[in-house]
Amino acid sequence: MIKLSKEKETKTKKKRFLHKYNKEVSELKEKKEEEFKETKKFSTYDLIGAMILTLLVGLILGVFASYSKNRINGKKVDSGLAEIASVYNELLDSSYNKTSKKSLVNGAIKGMISKVNDQYTTYYSEEDLEEFNQSVENEYVGVGMLVSYADGVPIVDTVYENTPAEEAGIKEGDEIIEVDGIEVDEENYLEVIGLIAGDEDTTVDIKVKRNDETKEFSIERKKITLPSVTSEVLEDNIGFIVIDTFSKKSYKEFKTNLEELESKNIKSLIIDVRSNEGGHLEQALDIVEMFLEKGTVIYQEKDGDTITKIKDQTKESKSYPIVVLQDYYSASASELLSSALKEQYNNVTIVGNTSYGKGTMQELRKLKTGSYIKYTTLEWLTSKGNTINEVGVSPDVEVELSEDYYNNPSNETDNQLQEAIKIIKNKVA
């Protein structure tokens, strides 16, 4: 059975009422016409009856119209909303500086959202939402390379496969010295590197230094979709898998990467969700189900006084040692993964910092103006019913990332990763 929204339900009831009213009036009219043909005259009682019927129908329609007018989605309109409507009409009709209905409506909605005591209740324009979705889905317009900085010098850290940068011949380790004719220096390097991004199907000129040789590239910007999951095999057959964000494809990418690691006979696994701010919660749920036993509670949803336990629905599970790397910016879906494994997986250690602490879930609604609102609908708890909102998931082993890594990022200078490797080795030994 399809359940109608309250708005559609109200409209449906109104249609049924008017249909019934029109049908009854039509039938009554036809009956009266037949009686008129037979008698050729009205009796006093006929006239009185018609008057009463007219008054009764008018009263019913008036009450229904008043009910509909003063209710939105089945709820009574209070005086505050009536005041907003009054100001809205006044500004449209009498304001010297004319503005559009859409602008006024969006402005009113923004104002209401700004007063909601919830940092995750948000207003999005169509452009804002597109930008947000691109960040979650790892999509952007550019050339397909990751730039890092060493002592203020921009170095190409990663060139992604099947991207314009790779096709043009950019190599990892190239030092970027000029973008669109602007030389890079210690003061402007962040701003200049930002020029590499731009509009799709436009061209950017990049000059790099490679082994004391200068090379120039003219690269067309394209829409780039980066993988959200990457992996490699570390020493002692330790699998290392990084989840940058929980995009719509993360579970599929994670499964593919894990199967490839297992085909190389890994004996343990490190899962890295550092700086992963979340994304699609169901993707994290699907990934967790790969490790836990069927029927295990993964997390709980709290809606007022109602608690719903979300359980593992799959037969798949693992048993090898796992370390989860997290930091202060691991949030939402990342925390679901960390907390579920911490509380329900028999052989796991959480390493790093206490996570961000985002334990609420939001819904997205499109408005008639074309804009969107995202608002909090419920809180989620860990598998054992613990609150993580504004609390976070605490690590089993707390390790602060060293300055060496920031100055020279690599697996060797990543002391959090090195601690994870040491823990894994002790477990396997």
pLDDT in tens, 312-323: 999 999 999 999
pLDDT in tens, 138-177: 788 889 988 887 777 889 988 988 899 999 999 999 999 9
d(CA 405, CA 414): 5
Scanning 5-124, the segments in alpha helix (DSSP H) are: 6-39, 44-69, 79-94, 101-114
d(CA 259, CA 313): 20
> How far is residue 7 from each of residues 3, 55, 250, measured CA to CA in Å?
11, 29, 36
Q: Please tell me the CATH code under which domain 229-428 is placed.
A: 3.90.226.10
> Which class in CATH covers the domain with range 139-225?
mainly beta
pLDDT in tens, 255-273: 999 999 999 999 999 999 9
pLDDT in tens, 205-243: 999 999 989 999 999 999 988 889 999 999 999 999 999
Higher per-residue pLDDT: 61 or 124: 124
Asked if residue 205 lies in contact with residue 216, where contact means CB atoms within 8 angstroms, the answer is: yes
> What's this model's pTM, rounded to 2 decimal places?
0.69
Q: In the structure encoding, which two tokens stand for residue 258, read together?
A: 């894990």
358 burial via Cβ count (<10 Å: 0-12, 13-18, 19+): buried
pLDDT at residue 73 greater than cutoff 50: yes
